[in-house]
Amino acid sequence: MTSTWVSVLASYLHLLAVAVYLGGSVAMEFVLGPAQKFIPPAQAQVMGQKSADRFLALVWGSLALFPISGMLLLFSTSNQSNVSGDKFFTTTYGRTLFGMIFLWCVLVVNGLIITFVLRPRLNQKASGKGGGSNVSANLERAGKAARWVSIITRIDLGVAVFIVLLGASMAYGNGLI
């Protein structure tokens, strides 16, 4: 009975993380992004910056929740017997879980690139730090950074949609890979 409640809670948290990560990415990329083109550039920039900062907090929250709830889910059900020892690589369930964890690592690496490499470049654009000729160089760097953020966000979306397929195949079958 206790383990049933742990499974329900773990599953609830896992799906909540999926909803926040995927729903948030879709809203940022396909709703907020295109809408920004219809407001003056300076305002669009501040809005984009502030909303991206807030969204990144949600992204990191859900990325942290995935392994916690996922491990809880695994160890509160009988499925752990599918991944013990070398079964992690020899069963379809084990390999699918391995794929899920590997792709989660891809999302984390992409999140680190956006947070620590690309975001600071976007922020430079707003402050215009350096003045004079540096402003146009900063603008160009920021434009490139914005394009990379968009490309990486779309890659993350594709990866996350595929991970959901892996999850469904594990929850309602024996896995996919």
Helix (H, G, I), strand (E, B) or coil at 173: coil
Q: Which amino acid is at 20?
A: V
Burial of 59 (0-12, 13-18, 19+ CB in 10 A): buried
Least CB distance from residue 77 to ligand HEM, whole Å? 6
CA distance 121 to 100: 31
- Name residues contacting ligand HEM, limited to 76-115 (CB under 6 A): 79, 97, 100-101, 104
Token couple for 177: 């890979």
Note whether 155 binds ligand HEM by CB under 6 A.
no
Token couple for 97: 């879980």
The residue from 151, 168, 173, 174 that contacts ligand HEM (CB under 6 A) is 168
Of 59 and 146, which CB lies nearer to ligand HEM in the complex structure? 59
Note whether 118 binds ligand HEM by CB under 6 A.
no
- Give the residue among 151, 125, 163 at the shortest CA–CA distance from 46: 125
Note whether 44 binds ligand HEM by CB under 6 A.
no
Residues that bind ligand HEM (CB under 6 A): 11, 14-15, 18, 21, 66-67, 70-71, 73-74, 79, 97, 100-101, 104, 160, 163-164, 167-168, 170-171
